Amino acid sequence: MQTPEVGEHFQIILDRRGFLDEIAVMVEVKKEYFSDRVLDLMNIKEKVEEALRNALNF
Amino acid sequence: MEKVIRQISLFAENKPGKLATVARVLGEAKVNIRALTIAEAGDFGVIRMVVDDTQKAYEVLSEKGFTVSVTGVIGAEIRDVPGELYKIAGVLGDNDVNIDYAYSFLTPHEKAILIIRVDDTERAVELLEKNGIKVVTEDEISRI
The number of distinct structural domains making up chain A is 1
- Within an 8 Å CB–CB cutoff, is residue A43 touching chain B? no
Rounded average pLDDT over A27-45: 92
The answer as to whether A44 is a domain residue is yes
Q: Under CATH, which architecture does the B5-71 domain have? A: 2-Layer Sandwich (3.30)
Tell me which of A13, A32, A36, A43 to substitute to probe the interface with B (most B C-beta atoms closer than 10 Å): A36
* Average pLDDT of the residues in A1-13: 86
Model pLDDT, residue B64: 94
CB atoms inside a 10 Å sphere around CB B68:
21
B55 Cβ neighbours under 8 A, 6+ residues apart = none
Q: At what angle do helices B18-28 and B54-63 cross, to 10 degrees?
A: 120
> Is A24 part of any domain?
yes
The answer to whether the Cβ–Cβ distance between A29 and B67 falls below 8 Å is yes
Q: Minimal CA–CA distance to A36: which of B48, B89, B96?
A: B48
Provide the 10 A C-beta neighbour count for residue B6. 17
Cβ of B69 and A36 within 8 Å? Answer: yes
Listed in order, the ranges of chain B carrying CATH 3.30.2130.10 are 5-71, 72-142
Each residue's pLDDT expressed in tens, for chain B with a length of 144 residues = 688 999 999 999 899 999 999 999 999 999 999 999 999 988 899 999 999 999 999 999 999 999 999 999 999 999 999 999 999 999 999 999 999 999 999 999 889 999 999 989 999 999 999 999 999 999 999 888
pLDDT digits (tens, 9 = 90+) for B81-114: 999 999 999 999 999 999 999 999 999 988 999 9
Q: Are strands B44-51 and A20-29 parallel, antiparallel or unpaired?
A: unpaired
Which tops the pLDDT comparison, A57 or B17? B17
**Residues from chain A contacting residue B7 (CB–CB below 8 Å):** 36
Q: Say if A1 falls within a structural domain.
A: no
Homologous superfamily (CATH) of B72-142 is VC0802-like (3.30.2130.10)
Range of the domain at A13: 6-56
8 Å CB contact of A41 and B7: no
Q: What is the pLDDT of residue A1?
A: 56
Task: Report yes or no for ipTM above 0.90.
Answer: no
Measure B133 CA to nearest chain A CA, in Å. Answer: 25
Helix (H) or strand (E) holding A9: strand A6-17
